[in-house]
Amino acid sequence: MKKSIIFIAMATLCLFFKGYGQGSANKDITPLSIGEKVPELVFKKIFNGTKQPISLSSLKGKGVILDFWGTWCSACIKRFPHMKDIQDRYGDHIQVILVGDSERDTEVKIVQFLDKRVADNQEIILPVAFRDTLTKKLFPHVMYPHYVWIGADRRVKAITRAEQVTDENVERFIAGLPLYLPKKEL
């Protein structure tokens, strides 16, 4: 009996703290796990390329790799040429989107960062989305870089570190094969 009361009390506390700090409009948004369906995402602020909003539905059956980064993250920036290479080689089947969602970065900092890259002949060609609040809730993370692989079926296939973004894994991803990759924690 005593164990049952303790269990019920703990379960109640967990339910209380799960919703703590979330606004009422965002109550139903919970982080996604591997295998779960991703809702329609629309990246409204795109800083390069066509500068047009990008939605998952507009990618017509392509897989998507979201690359979360910050202007201050040297490991992230170092991976940009590799991600561009992946996009160039597999662009008929995937879309890489760089998502600048660091709380340290402002819109001005991102624009200055991109302008400096152009001036230094290191222009970033991949679409750069700015601080999408839905992706931050669906794919929470603290450490960068952070990669989320969304299949053409709009299901989360993997959440990884940089080392897992390899040709072999991208080819498996495109083929719709399972990705047996360790999940990156926050």
Cα–Cα distance measured from residue 2 to residue 103, given in angstroms and rounded to the nearest whole number:
45
pLDDT value, residue 9: 39
Q: pLDDT per residue over 141-167, tens digit each?
A: 999 999 999 999 999 999 999 999 999
Domains with residue ranges and CATH for the chain? 31-175 (3.40.30.10)
Convert the pLDDT of each residue in 82-132 to its tens digit.
Answer: 999 999 999 999 999 999 999 999 999 999 999 999 999 999 999 999 987
> Residue 5 above 60 pLDDT?
no
pLDDT at 8: 40
CA distance 27 to 11: 18
pLDDT single digits (tens) 10-52: 433 333 333 333 333 456 789 999 999 999 999 999 998 777 8
Helical packing angle, 74-90 and 167-175, nearest 10°: 50
Burial string for 50-73 (b: 16+ CB within 10 Å, else e) reads eeeebebeebeebbbbbbbbbbeb
Confidence at residue 127, expressed as pLDDT on a 0 to 100 scale: 95
Q: pTM score, two decimals?
A: 0.84
List pLDDT tens digits, range 49-67.
Answer: 777 899 999 998 899 999 9
CB 69 within 8 A of CB 57: no
What is the pLDDT averaged over residues 173-182? 95
